[in-house]
Amino acid sequence: MSLFANEAPHGPPAARVAVPRAYANLVPKIVCHSAPDRFALLYRLLWRIQHGERQLLDNFADFDVARAIRYAKAVDKDVYRMQAYVRFAERTIDGTQVFTAWHEPQHRVLRLAAPFFVDRFSNMEWLIATPLGTAAWRGRVLSFGPPAARPAETGDAVLDELWTAYFRATFNPARLRVKAMVAQMPKRHWATMPETASISDMIKAAGSRVAKMGERAPESPPRFAERLAERMAAAPAQAPEPFSLDALREEMHSCKRCPLHGPATQAVPGEGAVGAEIMFVGEQPGDQEDLAGRPFMGPAGRVFNRALAEAGIERHKTYVTNAVKHFKFEPRGKRRVHMKPSGGEVTKCRFWLDREITIVKPKLVVALGATAVLGLTGRSVPVTKVRGRVTAAENLFILVTVHPSYLLRLPDKERVEAEYERFVADLRQAKAWCDAA
Ligand code: URA
């Protein structure tokens, strides 16, 4: 029992305040932002919500809401960067093997990012030090400590060498895109990433390496591979997330996460550029897409292209992908008849869709039909219920509309025309929202 159990609490009892879920989801992120006005912003939003603006957070045109979302996104990005760019160096302290890392985040994201390292490295003792605080995992307990000073030396030579070897081994000079590389891996983090020391050499040598690759016969694996394999078996796996669409596409081609890869010709990755403002998500590739390896090429693709043009959207400036990356079909004679993917298949494939979104970072995602909604949100929602307005789900802005093949299935011409017009109107709205955002 506490010594002070009989004492009355000081001050008035705290009032309970009910807030919309969207607000509750934003708070833990915004408080981590480094902007000095973050608490004032949260308080202002709360005050407005409590004084009659219950739907305030649905109004993305509102200045406070837009700012709050921008802060939350910046924090998400910083969490992702910490998870992708922390490099541990091995040390022995008091006879115990520990892994330490130095990282300089832009925002106070250590507490948000730390659970990821607990999941991945739960059997190790590790410490992540930052100028804003430290996180330590001592096998069972995660604890947070005060800020640390930047160490003079950040790497242990052995691990540095292994990271550099890994980075060199995965660097493909034929796919060199310097701008995209720097955008994904900001120079701020290079000091603690040993592999980056090789970047300028590799860029300089890229041209001649591409030529040599063409001439060279297959060779046996390099000697470091054996040591790397040993080391990886002993230490926790720290496979970095693919940070480019090229790397993602390459990985997708060997996807065996569900049985659909068996009968399909190939995985059909999304198409478009990093930074595209609008991302369209369809259901799955059809017969022609499966053969061509590109999304929305067949009959549904032609309707889609026509509607895009009418809405004033240039397809090559968008990113077009599907919730499921392999074609699911039933053979009937010579034909391969489309089959709807199951909930389980859509869920397995969210792995790829999530990564595409992380890399492309669209302002708005347009879900074409119910399977796309399921892939994006994990929820089965009738399209008619949510169609045509921008909603926020997990820090993603989504506009739901019908799938173009729905228009191809309608029985009478009048309905086709009316529904087509509604589809174009939804696309126009997507464009207008992005232009204003
Ligand atoms: N339907 C889709 O959902 N996606 C395609 O790529 C083609 C048809």
Specify whether the CB–CB gap between 352 and 255 falls below 8 A.
yes
Least confident of 39-48, 76-85, 213-222: 213-222
Q: Is the CB of 300 under 6 A from ligand 1?
A: yes
Please list, in sequence order, all residues whose beta carbon lies within 8 angstroms of the beta carbon of residue 52, skipping any fewer than 6 positions away: none
Mutate which of 281, 289, 383 to test ligand 1's pocket (most atoms within 8 Å of Cβ)?
Answer: 289
Nearest-10 Cα torsion for 64, 69, 72, 74: -110
Write the DSSP string, 233-274: HHSPP-PPPP-SHHHHHHHHTT--SSGGGTTSS-----BS-T
Query: How far away, in angstroms, is 379 Cα from ligand 1 center?
Result: 20
Residues in the chain: 437
The three-state secondary structure class of 147 is coil
pLDDT digits (tens, 9 = 90+) for 29-77: 999 999 999 999 999 999 999 999 988 998 877 889 989 999 999 999 9
The pair of structure tokens assigned to 294 is 């590109």
Beta bridge partners of 393: 396
Measure the CA–CA gap between 62 and 409, rounded to whole angstroms.
Answer: 39
374-409 residue pLDDT tens: 999 888 989 998 899 888 876 789 999 999 999 999
Position 335 pLDDT exceeds 60 = yes
Residue 371 CB less than 6 A away from ligand 1: no
Q: In the beta sheet, which residues pair with residue 365? A: 279, 398
- Summarised one tens digit per residue, pLDDT across range 224-250 is 455 555 655 555 444 445 578 998 998
For residue 97, name the pLDDT band (cuts at 50, 70, 90).
Answer: confident
Provide the 3-class DSSP secondary structure of residue 92.
strand
Residues 6 or more apart whose CB falls under 8 angstroms from that of 123 comprise 139, 236
Q: What are the boundaries of each domain within the chain? A: 21-82, 88-197, 240-436
User: Which residue has tokens 């390292």?
Assistant: 117
- Measuring CA to CA, which residue among 363, 285, 277, 380 is closest to residue 323? 285
pLDDT, tens digit, 9 for 90 and up, residues 243-273: 789 989 989 999 999 999 999 999 999 999 9
The identity of residue 55, as a single letter, is Q
Q: Determine the topology of domain 240-436 in CATH.
A: Uracil-DNA Glycosylase, subunit E (3.40.470)
**pTM as predicted:** 0.51
Q: Which atom of ligand 1 is nearest to the CA of 288?
A: 7
Distances in Å between the Cα of 16 and the Cα atoms of 13, 19, 23, 46, 51 are 9, 10, 15, 13, 15
